């Protein structure tokens, strides 16, 4: 597929394309344009031209379009989900669910955009007033990773478009096809030319051009911490606004009085969703010594029930997206074994006719882990978890916080006071107490420490695409 610019197919200047592979079979499922600086320039100029008119549209008009595209997404969820399943390898039900959830997010942001307000301070100065208003930031560049390509894109454009920004979106080179198809739905919904443009290619080839370009006012990035830091540094050097949603290594603390019948299924589900390619998945577990064995047994049993295979075969889990992501899992298991851990289930690449051509790693539980192991310190982005014991709550909190990351954390204790105390002390952008479910649309999501800068979702997400302006009135 070509770039999508000005509501049209745009042949890449390079004349080159990148093959998109099915991670189950290594078969080519499509191709996307390999962009260069000239394509970037054209996309940004188109977005800039559109911005002049788009920002002057009544908010209600922009909101109406956003609801219309959300409806189209629901109508086309099976098709879009199918494209996603083929490029990502995730079971089809999860892919279709991602489309529906993203449509809901667009609807939520649209409603919230209608409620954005400014203010007039009550100074009581005779003949003087100040109006504090919000204006759209301008042209936003969205850069997204492979793991939830539609949700993570919608977290950005769903907030940027209704407040009057226009967008150039760059999806991951691993999963660009679903984003390109989504852009066509925006056109079908009636979005004017240039409001949403999609440019594809390798991040390291076109990233700088997208960020440095004078038209770019804001960069919203979701992806790895190392990439995010490079993008953040470049954007900051040019005073561009940023939102960075980066990596995670999220801990769960399971207290002595935890309800294991709730904790174990919730933790297992969250640790292996999307084959562990999930920024706020449970990565490491700290379990009170008195219930440690019982806990490990229960999560091993549940983990062994997870069926791994092809996305259309009714399985629970697919492969990893590519070799680079796959290798982390192998490496972290080897490191843990070298340092004295035990693999309770999984641990070795899946083989056999069904698995040999893809990047299949089984859901893996590593017990007797310690803080010196990569599984307890580095992001895995794969289906491997580490479990270790603790004796006191202070020890558990200190182990959980001993991390560069701070995206999410989890705690299980039937004493709400204990749960809340731990939640308050955990260094994370979001903490779940006594169950784990997906993040809500109306509350902020984002990280502390190396997990990011800024927040998405809720009115916080929308405000991040506006700039405050003060107008002084004398009368």
**Pairing of the two strands 17-21 and 28-33:** antiparallel
Residues 221-240 that bind ligand NAD (CB under 6 A): 222-224, 227, 230-231
- Residue 261 burial (10 A CB sphere; 0-12, 13-18, 19+): exposed
Binding track over 97-136 against ligand NAD, x by CB under 6 A = ----------------------------------------
Segment near ligand NAD (CB under 6 A); pick from 183-191, 241-249, 257-265, 342-350 = 241-249
Among 367, 403, 4, which residue's Cα sits nearest to residue 184? 4
Q: Give the count of beta carbons closer than 10 Å to the beta carbon of residue 438.
A: 11
> In angstroms, rounded to a whole number, what is the distance separating the alpha carbons of residues 319 and 329?
12
Is 256 a residue of the active site? no
Counting other chains too, the contacts that 9-13 makes at CB distance below 8 Å and 24 or more residues apart are 10/39, 10/42, 10/43, 12/36, 12/39, 12/201, 13/38, 13/39
- Using alpha carbons, list the distances in angstroms from residue 243 to 218, 220, 240: 8, 5, 10
Q: What's the token pair of residue 363? A: 């859901």
- Using alpha carbons, list the distances in angstroms from residue 149 to 174, 264, 278: 10, 28, 12
Q: Among residues 146, 191, 355, 465, which is the contact residue for ligand NAD, using CB under 6 A?
A: 146
> In angstroms, rounded to a whole number, what is the distance separating the alpha carbons of residues 468 and 134?
5
Residue 326 touching ligand NAD (CB under 6 A): no
Q: Among residues 204, 307, 348, 469, which is the contact residue for ligand NAD, using CB under 6 A?
A: 204
Segment near ligand NAD (CB under 6 A); pick from 27-35, 138-146, 268-276, 300-308 = 138-146
- Residue 205 burial (10 A CB sphere; 0-12, 13-18, 19+): middle
Segment near ligand NAD (CB under 6 A); pick from 203-211, 256-264, 304-312, 436-444 = 203-211
Among 161, 35, 85, which residue's Cα sits nearest to residue 321? 85
Among 323, 356, 389, which residue's Cα sits nearest to residue 331? 323
Residue 381 touching ligand NAD (CB under 6 A): yes
Binding track over 437-466 against ligand NAD, x by CB under 6 A = ----------x---xx--------------
State the minimum distance, in angstroms, from the CB of residue 148 to ligand NAD.
Answer: 6
C-beta separation of 341 from 373 below 8 A: yes
Nearer to ligand NAD, 136 or 248 (CB): 248
Q: Among residues 48, 144, 274, 418, which is the contact residue for ligand NAD, using CB under 6 A?
A: 144
C-beta separation of 252 from 271 below 8 A: no
Give residue for tokens 């109508």. Answer: 75
Of the residues 24, 95, 279, 379, which is catalytic? 279
C-beta separation of 472 from 122 below 8 A: no
130 bridge partner residues: 472
Residues in binding contact with ligand NAD, number by CB under 6 A: 29
Residue 33 touching ligand NAD (CB under 6 A): no
Among 214, 223, 106, which residue's Cα sits nearest to residue 171? 223
C-beta separation of 333 from 366 below 8 A: yes
State the minimum distance, in angstroms, from the CB of residue 276 to ligand NAD.
Answer: 11
State the minimum distance, in angstroms, from the CB of residue 327 to ligand NAD.
Answer: 12
State the minimum distance, in angstroms, from the CB of residue 167 to ligand NAD.
Answer: 14
Nearer to ligand NAD, 375 or 407 (CB): 407
Nearer to ligand NAD, 317 or 396 (CB): 317
Helix boundaries (H) for 305-322: none
Nearer to ligand NAD, 247 or 458 (CB): 247
Q: What is the distance, to the nearest Å, from the Cα of residue 266 to the centroid of all Cα atoms in its chain?
A: 20
Q: Among residues 50, 279, 300, 431, which is the contact residue for ligand NAD, using CB under 6 A?
A: 279
Nearer to ligand NAD, 296 or 409 (CB): 409
Is 245 a residue of the active site? yes
Nearer to ligand NAD, 76 or 249 (CB): 249
Q: Among residues 12, 23, 145, 362, which is the contact residue for ligand NAD, using CB under 6 A?
A: 145
The residues that touch ligand NAD, with contacts defined as CB under 6 A, are: 143-147, 152, 170, 172-173, 203-204, 207, 222-224, 227, 230-231, 245-248, 279, 379, 381, 407, 447, 451-452
* Residues labelled catalytic: 245, 279
């Amino acid at each position: 597929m070509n770039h999508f610019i000005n509501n049209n197919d745009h042949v890449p200047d390079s004349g080159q394309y990148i093959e998109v592979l099915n991670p189950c079979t290594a078969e080519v499922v499509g191709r996307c344009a390999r962009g260069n600086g000239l394509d970037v320039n054209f996309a940004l100029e188109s977005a800039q031209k559109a911005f002049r008119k788009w920002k002057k549209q009544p908010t209600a008009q922009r909101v109406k379009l956003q609801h219309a595209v959300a409806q189209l997404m629901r109508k086309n969820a099976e098709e879009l989900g199918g494209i996603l399943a083929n490029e990502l390898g995730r079971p089809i039900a999860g892919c279709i669910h991602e489309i529906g959830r993203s449509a809901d997010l667009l609807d939520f942001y649209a409603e919230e955009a209608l409620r954005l307000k400014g203010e007039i301070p009550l100074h009581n100065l005779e003949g003087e007033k100040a109006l504090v208003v919000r204006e759209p930031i301008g042209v936003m560049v969205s850069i997204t990773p492979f793991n939830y390509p539609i949700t993570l894109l919608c977290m950005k454009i769903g907030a940027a478009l209704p407040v009057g920004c226009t967008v150039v979106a760059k999806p991951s080179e691993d999963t660009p096809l679903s984003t390109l198809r989504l852009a066509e739905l925006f056109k079908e919904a009636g979005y004017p030319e240039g409001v949403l443009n999609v440019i594809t290619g390798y991040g390291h080839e076109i990233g700088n051009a997208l960020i440095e370009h004078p038209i770019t006012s804001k960069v919203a990035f979701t992806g790895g911490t190392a990439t995010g830091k490079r993008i953040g540094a470049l954007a900051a050097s040019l005073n561009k606004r940023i939102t960075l949603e980066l990596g995670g290594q999220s801990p769960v603390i399971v207290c002595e009085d935890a309800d294991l019948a709730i904790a174990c299924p919730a933790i297992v589900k969250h640790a292996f969703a999307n084959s562990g390619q999930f920024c706020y998945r449970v990565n490491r577990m700290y379990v009170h010594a008195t219930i440690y064995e019982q806990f490990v047994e229960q999560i091993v049993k549940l983990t062994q029930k997870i069926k791994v295979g092809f996305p259309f075969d009714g399985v629970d889990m697919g492969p990893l997206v590519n070799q680079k992501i796959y290798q982390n899992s192998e490496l972290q298991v080897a490191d843990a074994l070298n340092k004295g851990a035990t693999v309770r289930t999984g641990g070795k690449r899946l083989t056999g006719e069904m698995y040999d051509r893809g990047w299949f790693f089984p859901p893996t539980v590593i017990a007797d882990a310690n803080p010196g192991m990569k599984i307890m310190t580095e992001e895995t982005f794969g289906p491997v978890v580490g479990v270790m014991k603790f004796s006191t709550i202070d020890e558990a909190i200190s182990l959980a916080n001993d991390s560069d990351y701070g995206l999410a954390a989890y705690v299980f204790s039937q004493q709400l006071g204990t749960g809340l105390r731990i939640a308050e002390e955990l260094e994370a952008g979001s903490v779940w107490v006594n169950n784990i479910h997906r993040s809500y649309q109306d509350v902020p999501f984002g990280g502390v420490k190396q997990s990011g800068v800024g927040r998405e979702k809720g009115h916080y997400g929308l405000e991040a695409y506006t700039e405050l302006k003060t107008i002084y009135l004398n009368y």
